[in-house]
A and B are shown apart, each in its own frame.
Chain A
Amino acid sequence: MDLEKIEFLPDDFEFVGDKQDITKDVVAPSLPAWKDSLNRFKKNKGAVIGLICILVIAVFAIFAPMLSSYEFDAINTKIASISPCAEHFFGTDTYGRDLFVRVWTGTRYSLFIAVVAIFIDVIVGMTYGLISGYFGGKVDSVMQRIQEIINSIPTLVILTLLLMVMKASLFTIIMALSFTEWIGMSRITRAQVLRVKEEEFVLASRTLGASNMFIIFKEILPNIYSQMIIMIMMSIPNAIFYEAYLSFVGLGLPIPMASLGTLINDGFNSITIYPYMMVIPVIIFSILMLSFNLFGDGLRDALDPTMKEM
């Protein structure tokens, strides 16, 4: 196109005028960190659905066994193997135990085991990681070698052996799960401590004469808590899975107690005749696993946007 021939007419232009006030800067309102995270979390549909599912399942697990007229371990062979109906929402098992109560009691045990095991992990793992990372040097290298050796034994071997020595019960399963999960926790803690302890505010605090305890609890811990929460949320489905795995290996909760794992295992024995006995606990188990994963992912993205995706 020939540039010479372009002509500008008056109505090619529009007067912007003072619609824009350039003397004022438009800045997003400043939000506290938790509110910022909450907003990010709310935008993640999967995570919100996950959270809702977890809450609904937890409410059922807590209240359904209380409100039902059946006991989870009451055997009544007259009503054995009834398919799901209005009286027994999830049917009954081969011993005539109401599966609605049993499944929710099982969910309660599974969640309880997972939460307690992770709680112990956090305390043990965090202490180990903090000491190892904060003090460094000889302490660190010895602690790391020990950890390396424990870490290179596969979880399933540790779990199997531990539970063969200590006969399976609620307590021993929790102990066994804590024994295998704390390593991940301590690794994350150590990595975070190594990162944070070089920061200048720690140096400043030390210059002002702060003690090691003060630096650990007041300077380092508040800066790594979000990583800890993410790790906890990622560990819970792991613990639920390993509990189910143990039930399959025959090292699960002793009868008449029930967990999702033992229920799935029991249901599996009559899979061809009464599929509902297995399918219902499997569905709840799967929803729980999926929800915790979605929730954990959402939480990670919300608390630490820099860590997005792996």
Chain B
Amino acid sequence: MSNSTLKYIGKRLVISLITLFVILMVLFLMVKFLPGSPINNEKLSASARAAIEAQYGLDKPIPVQFVRYIQNMLTGDFGVSFNLYKDMQVSSLVGSAAKLSMIYGLCAVIIGTVIGMFLGVFAALHKNTIWDTIATVISVIGVSIPSFVFAMLILLLFASKLRLLPTSYSSSNAIKSSIMPILALSVGVIANVARFTRTEMVSVLTSEYMTLAKAKGLDRKTLIFKHALRNALIPVITILGPILVNLMTGTMVVEKICSVPGLGKLLINSILSNDYNIILACSFLYAAMYIFMMLIIDISYGIIDPRIRLGKDD
């Protein structure tokens, strides 16, 4: 790692931290001024309200509250839930939900990338045949149609009609009830990866070093796996960003449909019941994960292909 690479990473880190701080501040202020919080309940008498405010530390000026919130947050304390799960620690609620969402996301990425790569390579090797067309149609459908539609169709077909899968999540039957959401989430990944791998693979297969490798008399297996695939896969990293963002949006709705108690469902429920501490924590966690992913992807671009970094420095 050269000096300029480190400088670039440092710059990106600082921007990310500033962004996170700004997001937290905006979230915090919004929550403070939003109508309909449990503290703003008109049925409460003045003394009862004062008591509650003192209990949650809401009687201090807002900057003090904000500093206090950040201090607590750094020790892993996001406050307590107001409405949804009365007085439960937000950090434990969000923590367990986020764990489930992340596992699902990770499974979808792994399954999707493997199947997508296979499909893409298959299509590229059978270019301009019926197989290629079928693979292309599948990937166009998968790219265009959002994951919640697939979740609904799977739910309707396999859970509601054929009764092969449970309609909602239960922790006693975790594996079987995870099939539906993971399947629905991975369709988009499969399609994106397949489409991209095919394009890359086709351009690699027609390159001159492939002709050379063929001329050397290498067998087809070595040719495809060792020479073509490896070079075609490097650029696939570039689409991981959009894929992960899609997944994050996708999980929110898919979790609601398959009633998975993940981060998305928690956020939706807390929005519906105005539970501001949970909304704040979930949104912040989403933003933090997003920024972290973008940072990792940007840095890995920079290391793989230094031209990208230089191009961005304008």
* A229 proximal to B (CB < 8 A): no
* A126 proximal to B (CB < 8 A): no
| Residue pair B279, A164 in contact (C-beta under 8 Å) | yes
0/1 per residue, B143-167, Cβ < 8 Å to A? Answer: 1111011001101100010000001
CB distance from B120 to the nearest CB of A (A): 12
B290 CB contact (under 8 Å) in A152, A164, A268, A290: A152
Q: Which residues of B contact A156 (CB under 8 A)?
A: 248-249, 252, 286
Q: Once bound together, how far apart are the Cα atoms of A149 and B291, in whole Å?
A: 10
Q: Once bound together, how far apart are the Cα atoms of A286 and B199, in whole Å?
A: 25
Q: Once bound together, how far apart are the Cα atoms of A289 and B144, in whole Å?
A: 6
A289 CB contact (under 8 Å) in B146, B248, B253, B286: B146
| Residue pair A279, B156 in contact (C-beta under 8 Å) | yes
Instruction: Given A272-B160, A275-B160, check contact A310 B286 (CB 8 Å).
Output: no
| Residue pair A244, B146 in contact (C-beta under 8 Å) | yes
Q: Taking chain A's interface residues, is the majority helix, strand, or loop, or is none over half, making it mixed? A: helix
- With both beta carbons as reference points, the residue of chain A lying nearest to B269 in the complex is identified as A250
Q: Once bound together, how far apart are the Cα atoms of A148 and B15, in whole Å?
A: 8
Q: Once bound together, how far apart are the Cα atoms of A250 and B265, in whole Å?
A: 12
Q: Once bound together, how far apart are the Cα atoms of A245 and B272, in whole Å?
A: 14
Question: Within residues 236 to 260 of chain B, which ones have a CB less than 8 A from any CB in chain A?
Answer: 245, 248-249, 252-253, 256-257
CB distance from A255 to the nearest CB of B (A): 15
Q: Which of B23, B143, B291 gathers the greatest number of chain A CB atoms within 10 Å?
A: B23
| Residue pair B16, A152 in contact (C-beta under 8 Å) | yes
Q: Taking chain B's interface residues, is the majority helix, strand, or loop, or is none over half, making it mixed? A: helix
* A285 proximal to B (CB < 8 A): yes
- With both beta carbons as reference points, the residue of chain B lying nearest to A248 in the complex is identified as B253
| Residue pair B34, A310 in contact (C-beta under 8 Å) | no
Q: Which of A153, A160, A272, A292 gathers the greatest number of chain B CB atoms within 10 Å?
A: A153
0/1 per residue, A162-183, Cβ < 8 Å to B? Answer: 0011000000000000000000
| Residue pair B252, A250 in contact (C-beta under 8 Å) | no
User: Which range holds the interface residue count of chain B?
Assistant: 35 or more
CB distance from B105 to the nearest CB of A (A): 14
Q: Once bound together, how far apart are the Cα atoms of A249 and B271, in whole Å?
A: 8
Q: Once bound together, how far apart are the Cα atoms of A278 and B283, in whole Å?
A: 29
CB distance from B100 to the nearest CB of A (A): 18
CB distance from B179 to the nearest CB of A (A): 18
* A282 proximal to B (CB < 8 A): yes
Q: Which residues of B contact A286 (CB under 8 A)?
A: 144-145, 149
* A204 proximal to B (CB < 8 A): no
* B223 proximal to A (CB < 8 A): no
Q: Once bound together, how far apart are the Cα atoms of A77 and B2, in whole Å?
A: 72
User: Which range holds the interface residue count of chain A?
Assistant: 35 or more
| Residue pair B287, A249 in contact (C-beta under 8 Å) | no
Question: Within residues 104 to 139 of chain B, which ones have a CB less than 8 A from any CB in chain A?
Answer: none
Instruction: Given A46-B140, A160-B271, A289-B146, check contact A153 B19 (CB 8 Å).
Output: yes
- With both beta carbons as reference points, the residue of chain A lying nearest to B145 in the complex is identified as A286
* A37 proximal to B (CB < 8 A): no
| Residue pair B144, A237 in contact (C-beta under 8 Å) | yes
| Residue pair A149, B19 in contact (C-beta under 8 Å) | yes
Q: Which residues of A contact B27 (CB under 8 A)?
A: 161
| Residue pair A241, B156 in contact (C-beta under 8 Å) | no
Q: Which residues of A contact B140 (CB under 8 A)?
A: 46, 290, 293-294, 297
* A154 proximal to B (CB < 8 A): yes
Q: Which residues of B contact A297 (CB under 8 A)?
A: 140
* A157 proximal to B (CB < 8 A): yes
Q: Which residues of A contact B148 (CB under 8 A)?
A: 244, 248
* A4 proximal to B (CB < 8 A): no
| Residue pair A268, B143 in contact (C-beta under 8 Å) | no
> Interface on B for A, CB 8 Å cutoff?
15-16, 18-19, 22-23, 26-27, 30, 34, 140-141, 143-146, 148-149, 152-153, 155-156, 160, 167, 195-196, 199, 245, 248-249, 252-253, 256-257, 267-268, 271-272, 279, 283, 286-287, 290-291, 294, 314
Q: Sorted from nearest, which 10 A-B pairs have the closest CB atoms?
A: A293-B144, A154-B290, A290-B144, A157-B283, A309-B199, A152-B19, A289-B144, A248-B253, A286-B145, A149-B19
With contacts A153-B290, A165-B34, A241-B146 known, what are 8 further pairs, Cβ within 8 A?
Answer: A164-B279, A244-B146, A248-B148, A248-B256, A272-B160, A290-B141, A290-B145, A310-B199
11 contacts between A and B (CB under 8 A): A152-B19, A153-B19, A154-B245, A157-B283, A157-B286, A157-B287, A160-B271, A160-B279, A248-B256, A285-B149, A286-B145
